[in-house]
Amino acid sequence: MNIDGPTTDTGGRPFGVPPPEADFGVYVHVPFCTVRCGYCDFNTYTSDELGEGASRDSYADTAIAEIRRAAAQTGRREVQTVFFGGGTPTQLPAADLVRMLAAIDECWGLAPDVEVTTEANPDSVDPASLATLRAGGFNRISFGVQSAVRHVLAVLDRTHDPDRVPDAVRWAREAGFEQVSVDLIYGSPTETMDDWRFTLESALALKPDHVSAYALIVEHGTAFARRVARGEVTMPDDDETADKYLLADDLLTAAGLGWYELSNWARDDAARCRHNELYWTGGEWFGIGPGAHSYLDGRRWWNVKHPAAYAQRLAAGESPEADGEDIDDATARVEDVMLRVRLRSGLDPRTLGPHQHLVADGLLEPVDDRLVLTRRGRLLADHVVRELV
């Protein structure tokens, strides 16, 4: 790929190469779900999809074995953020999640102000489990709400009762979680604009610190993609999807949540997801679990995907790595632009090639010494990226 413009940032480092004291995070993948949602292409499994050696009961011990192996590889590094994702991490006992976090602290060391997040479904927590998580060091929770409308949840194969969501959020607050986030999805085939407005208003009634709102994407190979291909469901057109994004931005902004990334709004700077910001700004991280990706010292690699194969390798004292790649300067620059352009902090124009036409077209605007997507540019971010790289 031909790249216009310089290949180093203003500090003289190659694009994408973190400074010597780069933030370091740990991602822990928990691949278990009660039901596999038809639209999901994440590396997740229900109980009947798992073979021998992939027990939920033994998963924490397997992951801890990888944590110890990983820390021996990297040496001690202060961990600024930890994120438990999946799957549904809270399908495991809270005590197991706490044990894994304690192993990260023992092997690497948690920063005094570490952000520790777990994803959760509203029906996978109760007051006792949330209290255990909070006492064990978790301080941020992200609830997969997706929609407040029952027929939309049904299309998405979501099994939780929307009436339970306020209880789950209240229990998290009572347990002492510092940040509560709500994840939403818009653009379901049956979702009307009024449905989406109801979901947004219901989410805001929870007074969340953070909201993520993502457009539903038809991922190749999923059950949902097959339904679309057979004509059983019809996806909304791009104009409707754009209108739903604008409605979300209007309502969330009016409620005091500001956008800091295309699909993410936060109450204030402290409520932003620092772990995701680490991904978006060239930090380093170690991924634990089947299929987890890592990025360290200019190299990216990923683990074997199936939980049984993952467990078997670690039980044999072998690395769970499946493959990897070295990131050259050109690739790092492209990825850096692709990620940073999505942020409200924008891009340094001195690191870019020709871009004035995007300003003239009203897609980028100068803010202080940065170039930032306009509201229209946020709707056409993919086009902006193609023009910049």
Q: Assess whether the previous peptide bond of 86 is cis (omega < 30° from 0).
A: no
The reply to whether 290 falls in a domain is no
- Is residue 5 domain-shared with residue 150, that is, in the same domain? no
Q: Which of 59, 90, 81 is nearest to 284 (CA)?
A: 81
- Is residue 161 domain-shared with residue 122, that is, in the same domain? yes
- Is residue 269 domain-shared with residue 219, that is, in the same domain? yes
- Is residue 238 domain-shared with residue 264, that is, in the same domain? yes
- Is residue 274 domain-shared with residue 356, that is, in the same domain? no
The reply to whether 124 falls in a domain is yes
- Is residue 165 domain-shared with residue 216, that is, in the same domain? yes
- Is residue 90 domain-shared with residue 5, that is, in the same domain? no
- Is residue 3 domain-shared with residue 56, that is, in the same domain? no
The reply to whether 171 falls in a domain is yes
Last residue of a domain, one of 246, 280, 314: 280
Q: Which residues pair with 184 in a beta bridge?
A: 146, 213
- Is residue 223 domain-shared with residue 352, that is, in the same domain? no
H-run or E-run covering 167: helix 165-175
Interval 10-36: pLDDT, tens: 333 333 344 445 799 999 999 886 555
* Phi and psi at residue 381, to the nearest 5°: -60, -40
CATH assignment at residue 209: 3.20.20.70
- Is residue 44 domain-shared with residue 178, that is, in the same domain? yes
Last residue of a domain, one of 246, 262, 280: 280
- Is residue 4 domain-shared with residue 71, that is, in the same domain? no
Give the span between the Cα atoms of 259 and 267, in whole angstroms. 9
Give me the domain span that covers residue 357.
1-16+329-389
The reply to whether 312 falls in a domain is no
Are the C-beta atoms of residues 343 and 280 closer than 8 Å to each other?
A: yes
Amino acid 7: pLDDT: 29
Amino acid 20: pLDDT: 46
The reply to whether 298 falls in a domain is no
Give the total residue count for the chain.
389
Are the C-beta atoms of residues 341 and 347 closer than 8 Å to each other?
A: yes
pLDDT of the chain, 389 residues: tens digit per residue: 222 332 233 333 333 344 445 799 999 999 886 555 455 444 455 554 455 446 788 999 999 999 999 999 999 999 999 999 988 899 999 999 999 999 999 999 999 999 999 999 999 999 999 999 999 999 999 999 999 999 999 888 878 889 999 999 999 999 999 999 999 999 988 899 999 999 999 999 999 999 999 998 765 656 655 666 676 666 668 899 999 999 999 999 999 999 999 999 999 999 999 999 999 999 999 999 999 999 999 999 999 999 989 999 999 999 999 999 999 999 999 999 999 999 999 999 998 989 999 999 999 999 999 999 999 999 999 999 999 98
Amino acid 102: pLDDT: 98
Place of tokens 């309502």: 251
The reply to whether 247 falls in a domain is yes
SS3 assignment, position 144: strand
The reply to whether 158 falls in a domain is yes
SS3 content of the chain, % helix, strand, coil (to 5): 40, 25, 35
Domain total in the chain: 2
Amino acid 33: pLDDT: 66
Amino acid 34: pLDDT: 59
Interval 51-65: pLDDT, tens: 544 678 899 999 999
- Is residue 29 domain-shared with residue 67, that is, in the same domain? yes
The reply to whether 343 falls in a domain is yes
Last residue of a domain, one of 250, 280, 310: 280
